[in-house]
Amino acid sequence: MGLTDGVGRGTLKGLAYLGGLAQLGGRAAYATFVPAAKARRVRPTRAIHQAMAVGVEAIPILSLITFFIGVIMALQGAYELRQFGAIQFVASAVAISITRELGPFITAIVVIGRSGSAFAAEIGTMKVTEEIDALETMALPPVPFLVAPKFLAMLIMMPCLSIWADFMGILGGLLFGVTSADFTVASYLAATRDALVMRDIVTGLIKAVMFGIVITAVGCYEGFSTGAGAEEVGRSTTAAVVKSIFLVTCVDLLFTALFYFTTEK
Amino acid sequence: MDDSSATTKHEPAISVRNLHVRYGATEVLHGISFDICAGETMVILGGSGSGKSTLLRTMVGLEKPSTGEIWIKGRNIDRLSEQEWDDLRKKMGMSFQGGALFGSMTVGENVALPLYEHTELEPSTVGIVVRMKLEQVGLAGFEDYMPSQLSGGMKKRAAVARALAMDPEILFFDEPSAGLDPIIAAGIDNLILKLKEAFRMTIVVVTHELASAFLIADRMVLIDKGKIVALGTKEELRASTQPRVRQFLDRVPEPEVSEELDYLQMLTEERPKGRA
């Protein structure tokens, strides 16, 4: 009886959590996109500030990581392909895996680690110091004030970072191709271009946007549900990162399957 | 700002009617009823866990009553639309226990925030208002300091300046002297007295500091374990003969538990969860 009880409770809690996320995401989207909902002069500045932190400042680390991932994918792919004398397909293997999957996904992981945790920590600390309460008493509802700028920044920056990640990943494959697989820069890039279809890039970008929504919602939701004390801020930051990684993977699975089953080829 | 308080001269600024508040399953306030008249300073006294902070938070809308009503300026706050609630909140200011200043903004930006968000004033005008408010609380020249650079007393003053930014009709203070040394605490008391005289605001203060309370209050209400134990003017409370009131005012500690059974019960009793 204990196991089914636990599973039942866990499921209900999980569904309630998703409901809470959806509610927060909905309110943030409303505040961002409905102009009547208290559009303020100050908001663009805050959104730009967030975009800098979420996007621009992530570029160095994201570039390095996706570059290395590109090299790794090329190495792994070439390892198999050369057994069949097909090493020239390394360029397309890297291109497709990076643009469809690894570019957006690794971008999401990096952004979770940097910004998902930062959102939870910032809002969690504000909750502990009563700054959230202060906003409410000043007739400044916290969701439009705190979450909407982050939401907007994330929606714009995730696809941009994802494109950049794609580029750096292909560059990594290029390094391998030119040094160990008899490619020239020109031939590698031509092979990459031939292998890629618009659909690969677009599906990657759609996934990136969805990942961004999840990361913002989870980070902010965990921040708002922080209890009292410094230990709680640590707990909610950790929870934000772990839950974001899990939910991003679920969304990835969902959309990848969706794209697969809706293709007629 | 506009003088709408003239029409509410005969009805109380704030009216608490049979208020019950619970945190989860625990009831923290058991039927609180009292009125606060426009322009008076009401001090809510009580020990730790008495429910006074919950009462204050419910009055400003941070907690919801489970039963009972709170009427502010003649309106039941439970029945207000979001827009009406926002309009009401713009006429109220709250100073939190730790200041609750926004750590990512300077003091000046903190005070300017409600002005930028709720008015159409030019930045230069906002700057003048900010300097005025900071000067009123004795922090002239500190606009560009970050909250982390301020001492405890200065943070509280800055919080008051922010609460005053929109020229509120009602000011709420949560433990204004808590954690401050006597000299700084006296400074805060003087600030409250100055606001009382200059602006004739309705002021609601939650505190357990007796010296401050008797200095600034017009009337006081003593809350103990979620119920009102005494309500009246300073003189009435000072002259009260009720044991609980006398215990609080005369700073008599809780009696030592001498009965063995009582002691055992105290050790094994379930502690209620949640804040009071």
A221: Cα within 13 Å, side-chain hemisphere: 24
**In the structure encoding, which two tokens stand for residue A100, read together?**
């469809």
**Cα separation of B109 and B96, whole Å?**
18
pLDDT at residue B120, as a whole number: 86
- Could you please report the per-residue DSSP string of A67-136? HHHHHHHHHHHHHHHGGGT-GGGHHHHHHHHIIIIIHHHHHHHHHIIIIIHHHHHHHHHHHHTTHHHHHH
* Cα–Cα dist B240/B71, whole Å: 29
A contact set with B (CB within 8 A):
40-42, 125-126, 129-131, 133-134, 136-140
Chain A residue with CA closest to B171: the answer is A137
How large is the average pLDDT for residues A153-173? 95
- Please state, in angstroms and rounded to a whole number, the distance separating the CA atoms of residues B34 and B243: 21
CB contact under 8 A, A130 and B97: yes
**For residues B84 and B106, what is the distance between their CA atoms, to the nearest angstrom?**
30
- Residue A54's Cα: distance from chain center in Å? 11
Q: Among residues A156, A158, A171, A155, which one has the least CA distance to residue A98? A: A171
Q: What is the reported pLDDT for A165? A: 96
What's the pLDDT at A44? 78
For tokens 């999980």, the residue is A14
CA-nearest residue to A40 within chain B is B117
Q: Shortest Cα distance from A13 to chain B (angstroms)?
A: 17
DSSP string, B140-181: TT-TT--GGGS-HHHHHHHHHHHHHTT--SEEEEESTTTT--
Q: Are B79 and B154 in contact (CB under 8 A)?
A: no
- Own/partner contacts of A182-185, CB < 8 Å, gap of 24 or more, are A182/A87, A183/A88, A183/A91
Q: Report the side by side order of strands in the sheet with B92-95.
A: B92-95, B170-174, B202-207, B41-46, B219-224, B227-233
pLDDT one digit per residue (tens) for chain B, 276 residues: 444 444 445 678 899 999 999 988 888 999 899 999 998 999 999 888 888 989 999 999 999 899 999 999 888 888 888 888 889 999 999 999 888 999 989 999 999 999 988 888 899 999 999 999 999 888 989 999 999 999 988 999 999 999 999 999 999 999 988 888 888 888 888 888 988 888 888 999 999 888 889 999 999 999 988 888 889 998 888 888 888 888 888 877 777 766 777 778 778 876 555 544
Enumerate the residues of chain A whose CB falls inside 8 A of the CB of residue B96.
130, 133-134
Structural contact between residues B99 and B146, judged by C-beta atoms closer than 8 angstroms: no
Element of type H or E holding B86: helix B82-90
- A129:B98 CB<8 A: yes
What DSSP letter does each residue of A209-233 carry, written as one string?
HHHHHHHHHHHHHHHHT--SSHHHH
pLDDT digits (tens, 9 = 90+) for A107-131: 999 999 999 999 999 999 999 999 9
Rounded Cα gap, residues B188 and B176, in angstroms: 7
What are A180-231's pLDDT values in tens digits? 888 999 999 999 999 999 988 999 999 999 999 999 999 999 999 998 888 9
Q: Which residues sit opposite B203 in a β-bridge? A: B41, B171
CB A169 within 8 A of CB A73: yes
Confidence bin at A32 (pLDDT 50/70/90): confident
The torsion defined by the Cα of A51, A219, B99 and B17, in degrees rounded to 10, comes to: 130
Q: What is the pLDDT of residue A147?
A: 92
pLDDT tens digits along A6-21: 999 999 999 999 999 9
- Residue B117 has its nearest CB partner, among A125, A134, A140, at A140
Q: Which residues of A fall within a CB distance of 8 Å from B94?
A: 134, 137
How far B90 CA lies from chain A's nearest CA (Å)? 6
Give the residue-averaged pLDDT of A226-247: 93
Nearest CA among B102, B94, B98, B100 for reference residue B146: B102
Asked if A42 and B117 come within 8 Å (Cβ–Cβ), the reply is: yes
Structure tokens at A104: 């957006």
Distance from CA of B213 to the nearest CA of A (A): 24
pLDDT of residue A36: 60
pLDDT of residue B91: 92
* ipTM of predicted assembly, 2 dp: 0.84
Give the integer Cα–Cα distance in Å for A38 and B214: 43
